[in-house]
Amino acid sequence: MLDNLGEDKSIYLQIGEMIEDEILRDILHEEEQVPSTTELSKFYKINPATAAKGINLLVDKGILYKRRGIGMFVQKGAKEKIMEERRKSFMETFVKKIITEAKLIGVSRSELKKMIDSVE
């Protein structure tokens, strides 16, 4: 199933991120059913409402959809949607900060590219 929960952020956000990660890793595919809130709450020993909040977050983002009486399923195009959202976040969270810091300490773009290329 999913990874263990940490204490660094809200549990419902972690539930949503772990399901997104499984979609990105091709563990969960388009039109495939995701674990139910009951399964998630039993596995992680959390309140079913917390698990539902994580699932509903993904429904609101258009990653999952509900089939009445059956459960939640991965939406078509979900993987691409997650990748686009995470790329934007990566740009804001990491790339812009790296460039700002590089300028501050006098690292040129070409030096920065060499640094990045040297990391395996």
pTM: 0.81
DSSP per-residue codes, 77-99: THHHHHHHHHHHHHIIIIIHHHH
Specify the pLDDT at position 120. Answer: 74
- In the chain, % helix, strand, coil (3-state, to 5) comes to 60, 10, 30
pLDDT in tens, 45-62: 899 999 999 999 999 999
Task: Specify the higher pLDDT residue, 66 or 44.
Answer: 66
Specify the pLDDT at position 96. Answer: 94
